[in-house]
């Protein structure tokens, strides 16, 4: 990898900071966006190292925030969270860490809260199950919620 010139590096830094103005991004997302804008590997990598060292790019923070959103702001299941983190270029190690903290017996409770907040009287168990699966809840959580909500197995 060759050394970038100062001007190219400064342009890459400005472009990366503009990307970060709107939301946190993973290193992979920054790398891909800078490549799309025509920046080469040397200036991209130097800009990324600078941003990571200064705390502007932190994949752990991005993963933790995604989990927080999935738990509170927009309840969703473990499968959706895993998919989102992979799509954002989060490392498998980081995904495993977040999922270990995220996963638990309360997945069915989150699914039930989400479903009850969106249910209509005419919804069928099948429609409700499909909705929960689309929101990333696993089959066990979905089955538990459907049984609770529709009282089918009393």
25-78 pLDDT tens trace: 999 999 999 999 999 999 999 999 999 999 999 999 999 999 988 887 788 898
Residue 76 in domain: yes
| 34 and 65 part of one domain | no
Instruction: Say if CB 13 and CB 50 are below 8 A apart.
Output: yes
Q: Which domain holds residue 125?
A: 107-150
Instruction: Say if CB 4 and CB 40 are below 8 A apart.
Output: yes
- Residue 103 pLDDT: 65
- Residue 29 pLDDT: 96
| 111 and 132 part of one domain | yes
What are the pLDDT digits (tens) for 94-127? Answer: 999 998 887 666 889 989 999 998 889 899 999 9
| 98 and 112 part of one domain | no
Q: Using the 3D structure, point to which of 36, 53, 70 is the last residue of a domain.
A: 53
| 41 and 63 part of one domain | no
| 68 and 95 part of one domain | yes
- Please state the domain count of the chain: 3
- Residue 154 pLDDT: 44
| 85 and 113 part of one domain | no
Residue 81 in domain: yes
19 versus 71: the higher-pLDDT residue is 19
Residue 139 in domain: yes
pLDDT at 82 exceeding the cut of 90:
yes
- Residue 153 pLDDT: 46
| 97 and 116 part of one domain | no
Q: Going by C-beta distance under 8 Å and a sequence separation of 6 or more, which residues neighbour residue 29?
A: 19, 88, 89
| 49 and 13 part of one domain | yes
pLDDT band at 6 (very low <50, low <70, confident <90, very high): confident
- Residue 25 pLDDT: 96
CA separation for the pair 98, 100 (Å, rounded): 5
pLDDT band at 151 (very low <50, low <70, confident <90, very high): confident
| 95 and 125 part of one domain | no
Q: Going by C-beta distance under 8 Å and a sequence separation of 6 or more, which residues neighbour residue 79?
A: 136, 137, 138
Residue 84 in domain: yes
Instruction: Indicate which CATH number applies to the domain containing 18.
Output: 1.10.10
Residue 90 in domain: yes
Residue 1 in domain: no
Tell me what the pLDDT averaged over the chain comes to: 90
């Amino acid at each position: 990898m060759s050394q970038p010139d100062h001007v190219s590096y400064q342009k890459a830094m400005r472009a990366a900071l503009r990307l970060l103005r709107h939301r946190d991004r993973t290193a992979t997302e920054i790398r891909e966006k800078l490549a799309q804008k025509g920046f080469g590997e040397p200036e991209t990598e130097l800009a990324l190292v600078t941003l990571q060292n200064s705390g502007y790019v932190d994949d752990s923070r991005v993963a933790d925030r995604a989990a927080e959103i999935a738990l509170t702001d927009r309840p969703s299941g473990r499968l959706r969270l895993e998919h989102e983190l992979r799509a954002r270029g989060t490392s498998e190690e980081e995904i495993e860490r977040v999922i270990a903290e995220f996963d638990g017996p309360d997945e069915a409770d989150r699914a039930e809260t989400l479903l009850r907040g969106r249910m209509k009287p005419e919804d069928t168990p099948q429609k409700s199950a499909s909705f929960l699966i689309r929101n990333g809840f696993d089959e066990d959580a979905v089955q538990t919620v459907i049984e609770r909500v529709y009282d089918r197995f009393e």
